[in-house]
Amino acid sequence: MNMKHMTLVLVVGALAGLAYFTYDSLRPAAARGQAVWSYFRDPSSQAGLVMKAGQQCAGAPFIFPTDGLVGFIWDDSFRPGHRHSGIDIFAGTPVGVTPVVVAYPGYLTRLDEWKSTVIVRVPSDPLNPGRQIWVYYTHLADSQGNSFIDAAFPPGTTEQYVEAGTFLGFQGNYSGDPNNPTGIHLHISVVKDDGFGRFLNELEIDNTYNPSPYFGLRLNAAENGDTIPYCEPVNE
């Protein structure tokens, strides 16, 4: 084999490896995505997997924050190099229809610039008492940035105590770009504290915790290959 041929073989092999890596990393999210699209087209097709607001799985400290299908989970990947930092719950309804509630009690903050987002400080992690965590809720606005957050939590709200089950607002599709809205859903994540009483940047997965034990569901893509997470409620 001459050098030119050998180089071509190596390049082709590298590209094939990259293609497989890309396919393998995106496959779980794609499989769940197919279930989400089926749900959008015909909600009855996935009716048995729809979670309800207030539903609680066995042994879990958090209640479910909204009605819907868990379409994407922690550490799913939508593009090469991307790692999803929370879970996405799709109601399959228009914007501003499906309520969102607090999953665990704590102290709510809404920064002045937040149109679709609130975050709740939990001083003592129920899974690791004494460790502070933050629970982040977003996409509570329409594509134009008209907020669906309850009027009880205006921009600038700081450290307002909320119980589990407190109404926060409605699912929306705000992305920051009116021409490129998200699907209508709630994104929720469990965010780490920086050690000085502030929350870290939620966009980085390393700044978040695996939400699986908080909700009692398989919400980690490394543990759940391609299925829609669901549990039978224990609080009915």
Give Cβ neighbours of residue 203 (< 8 Å, ≥ 6 apart): 85
* pLDDT mean across residues, the chain: 87
Q: Which residue type occupies 151?
A: A
| pLDDT tier, 2 (very low <50, low <70, confident <90, very high otherwise) | low
Place of tokens 């933050």: 134
Residue 23 clears pLDDT 50, i.e. is over it: no
At 176 the pLDDT is 94
Q: What is the pTM of this model?
A: 0.86
User: What's the gap between Cα 188 and its chain centre?
Assistant: 4
- The DSSP element (H or E) to which 151 belongs, if any, is none
β-bridge mates for residue 118, sequence order: 137
CA distance readout (Å), 2 to 6, 7, 9, 13, 26: 6, 9, 11, 17, 36
| pLDDT tier, 1 (very low <50, low <70, confident <90, very high otherwise) | low
pLDDT (tens digit, 9 = 90+) per residue, 66-81? 999 999 999 988 767 7
Sequence spans of domains, the chain: 3-215
Closest CA to 52 of 66, 40, 39: 66
pLDDT (tens digit, 9 = 90+) per residue, 106-158? 999 999 999 999 999 999 999 999 999 999 999 999 999 999 999 999 999 99
| pLDDT tier, 33 (very low <50, low <70, confident <90, very high otherwise) | confident
- The DSSP element (H or E) to which 69 belongs, if any, is strand 69-72
Q: Which fold, 3-215?
A: Glucose Permease (Domain IIA) (2.70.70)
pLDDT (tens digit, 9 = 90+) per residue, 145-197? 999 999 999 999 999 999 999 999 999 999 999 999 999 999 999 999 999 99
